A = this chain, B = another copy of it.
């Protein structure tokens, strides 16, 4: 599954566009966010992407999950969003 990293500085509309492109090509996508700002931008991106793919008959849903990642040698908990048609 294609994984897009989202930061607090990411533009939700740009992420939504990338997400819609991956969804149309692969059928599902994944976002990864570390921190409240990144999670917030991810959710906005998913809400916007719903509008992008709705005309293609896709009703987008997301499954949030915790995942451990290593950043600069430190263990951090990130949120992974699996984004799929219902």
- The interface of chain A, by Cβ under 8 A from chain B, is 8, 35-37, 39-40, 43-44, 46-47, 50, 60-66, 79, 86
Residues of B within 8 A of A64 (CB): 43-44, 46-47, 50, 62
* Copies of the protein in its oligomer: 2
**Chain B: CB-nearest residue to A84:** B61
Max chain B Cβ within 10 angstroms of own Cβ: one of A37, A40, A43, A61: A43
Selected contact of A65 from candidates B36, B39, B47, B79, CB within 8 Å: B47
Alpha-carbon separation in the docked complex, A40 to B36 (Å): 5
Alpha-carbon separation in the docked complex, A46 to B42 (Å): 15
Residues of B within 8 A of A61 (CB): 61-63, 86
